[in-house]
Structure 1
Amino acid sequence: MNLRKWFYLFWTTLLIGAGGAVIAGLALQTVNGGIDFKSTADLLLYALILFGYGVLVSVYAQLGFFAYLILNYMGIGVFPRKAWRYIQLVLAVLALLELVFLRTFVSGDRSVASDLILGVGILLTAIVVSGFKMRGTNASAWIPTFFFMTAITIVEIIGVLRIGVDSATIFILVPLVACNAFQILMLHRVLKPASI
């Protein structure tokens, strides 16, 4: 990967995150109706704040992506390639089970429904993104993509899960998942050698 390709991935991911945050924030505003805008300028300022927040989330997603790439590189170096794939699959399933069930059992005041919806949403998104990645590359890309879209995404949203507010979780999850999906689906295209 050269600097020009990394620059492209960086800026496009920033725009994906910003767009995802604006869409999620305005949708939550429409559904919840929390802020009463006095003028169009207030609405535009709110959208600008959402845009900036999305940029921050996209940078956070990019940090998680590069941390995953380093983890994957180290995992391939330590374990046999086939064993590393199964380790990733087991870790992804454990992360999903922890998200859905363990938090509810440890803190009894949580509702199972919101954690279950969140876990199923992340699972379905991971399956869809992994299918697209497999179609774009090969069958061996399914498990690493699934691991990244489940376990790494869950690790990235731990901070907002501690807040315990569903709208805050949706607000960070939408741009984060959009950025993660975009990065993992673009990786093989960015790394493809340029034709002479």
Structure 2
Amino acid sequence: MTLRKWFHLFWTTLVLGIVVSTGVGLILQFSDKEFSVMGLSAVGFNLINMILGGATISVLSQMGFFAYLIVRFIAVGIIRSKTVWDLLQLAVVIVVLFDLVYLRKTNFNSSESLLGYFILPVCVLVISLAVSYWKVKMTNRNAFIPTLFFMTAVTVLEAVPALKLDNTASSLFMLAPLFVCNAWQILTLHKILDKKKS
């Protein structure tokens, strides 16, 4: 990866994060009068905060992406068997999706039924499966499990600050740009590295 390619990935991800968070933020602002960024409800001031928030979320997404690439590089060097590595990633995906239901239900002690806590993990799984399928179409079938792992485990880990609030608007405001930025990075990685479809 050259510096020029890294700059392209950085700036395109930054712009995507800003655009998506601003769009989602404005929709939330006008549909939910209680929604405010940093406790302030003025639309003009919130617009600036949405832009800054989107930039921050996109940088968080990029840090998560490069951390994942480093961990994957080290893990593949330690765990020589591709099957074991894939099974380990699938196990982590299952644990993350289970924890999205169990830990949130036990931490918030709300009167909401358990079924309501399944909505977020199902959405995360469906989006992750769609991005993984798309990645396979663009590259090869070996990319499915790593993409699924990145889109579920890493995205949920990056979204922990919003998930701690048990607030749908906060979760949506953070998860939407994270999903878009993470999907953009994982789907363009093979183009940046000039990996041809085999």
TM exceeds 0.5?
Answer: yes
Measured in 2, the distance between the counterparts of 1:184 and 1:35 equals 31
Number of matched residues?
Answer: 189
- Residue 114 of structure 1 and its aligned partner are, at CA, apart by 4.5
Counterpart contact for 2:86–2:146, Cα < 8 Å: yes
Measured in 1, the distance between the counterparts of 2:120 and 2:168 equals 9
Q: Paired residue for 1:122, among 107, 121, 124?
A: 124
Measured in 2, the distance between the counterparts of 1:126 and 1:78 equals 26
- Residue 189 of structure 1 and its aligned partner are, at CA, apart by 0.7
Q: 1:14 to 1:105 in 2, by over 3 A?
A: same
Measured in 2, the distance between the counterparts of 1:173 and 1:125 equals 11
Measured in 2, the distance between the counterparts of 1:105 and 1:35 equals 25
Q: 1:55 to 1:114 in 2, by over 3 A?
A: farther
Q: 1:110 to 1:65 in 2, by over 3 A?
A: farther
Query: 5+ unaligned residues in a row in structure 2: which ranges?
Result: 37-41
Measured in 2, the distance between the counterparts of 1:110 and 1:18 equals 35
Report 1 or 2 for greater relative contact order, CA contacts < 8 Å, sequence distance ≥ 6. 1
Runs of 4+ in structure 1 over 2 Å off: 33-36, 42-49, 105-115
TM-score when scaled to structure 1?
0.89
The question of 1:187 aligning with 2:189 is answered yes
Query: 5+ unaligned residues in a row in structure 1: which ranges?
Result: 37-41
Which whole-Å deviations, capped at 9, do the CAs of 1:33-66 have from their partners, x for residues lacking one? 3479xxxxx6454323211210010000101111
The question of 1:108 aligning with 2:109 is answered yes
What is the RMSD computed on CA atoms of the aligned residues?
Answer: 2.0
Q: 1:162 to 1:102 in 2, by over 3 A?
A: closer
Q: 1:193 to 1:134 in 2, by over 3 A?
A: closer
